[in-house]
Amino acid sequence: MNTNQISKSGRRGFAVSVIAAGAISSALLAFSMTPTFSALAASIQNTVNTAGSGTLTMQEADSTGLVLCNSTDGGSVSTNSATCATINNYGGNLNMVPGQTVTTTVTVKNTGTVPASAFSLAGGTCVQANNGSVNGTATDMCAKIQLLVKSGTTTIYTGTATGFATANLNINSLIASPSVAPGTSVPLSFAVTLDSAAGNTYQGLKVTQPMTLTFGA
């Protein structure tokens, strides 16, 4: 065997040794990084992790508590807005005389599951119409109807039906209540007075005015 053959054989043996040493080092490193557990262990699994939305619904009741209007009367809580044609907040007296006052009381209840952080009352357009076969010629009957809205002893609105048409009243702030809690009712009274100065030209006339009660959260 010549010197060249011995040299090549030595290099091959050295290379094999280096590769083998590297493989052993890698195996030892991998073993050292493998997580190990002791014989004692503890764990908790949470199985009831839920989240969902509450409901905010409104109910208006007349003074007897027998006539009810609900925000869901439209048939779906998704709409949650209904028209109430069974409670007349102005009393419905079509035979008032000048100076007479008619007062109607209702309660507005939070029938949902979350507090109403906002509670508002907004007036709509006041419309005058004839109230019989003999009618006066006045055209400003809405200005002759005085309206006083109260919650308990707190005044919510005072003025004419004409002025109420543009009112948007924050009831929560007026009654110094941060919210209407679920199951809580807020009383409201509506006192309607025919101006004592209304003369013959206001005979046989009536007004109609919508209003909207709104909860917000």
With respect to residue 160, please indicate whether it lies within any of the assigned structural domains: yes
pLDDT for 79-95, tens place per residue?
A: 999 999 999 999 999 99
With respect to residue 172, please indicate whether it lies within any of the assigned structural domains: yes
Q: What is the pLDDT of residue 5?
A: 46
DSSP assignment of 196-214 equals: TT--GGGTTEEEE--EEEE
pLDDT at residue 178 above 60? yes
With respect to residue 63, please indicate whether it lies within any of the assigned structural domains: yes
With respect to residue 104, please indicate whether it lies within any of the assigned structural domains: yes
pLDDT at residue 173 above 80? yes
Domain that holds residue 140: 58-216
With respect to residue 90, please indicate whether it lies within any of the assigned structural domains: yes
Distance CA 119, CA 171 (A): 5
Tokens of 208: 């109609």
Q: What is the pLDDT of residue 18?
A: 43
pLDDT > 90 fraction of the chain, expressed in percent and rounded: 78
Q: What is the CATH number of the domain that holds 79?
A: 2.60.40
pLDDT at residue 148 above 90? yes
With respect to residue 21, please indicate whether it lies within any of the assigned structural domains: no
With respect to residue 99, please indicate whether it lies within any of the assigned structural domains: yes
Please name the amino acid found at residue 214: T
Count of structural domains within the chain: 1
pLDDT for 25-57, tens place per residue?
A: 554 444 455 556 579 999 999 999 999 999 999
With respect to residue 182, please indicate whether it lies within any of the assigned structural domains: yes
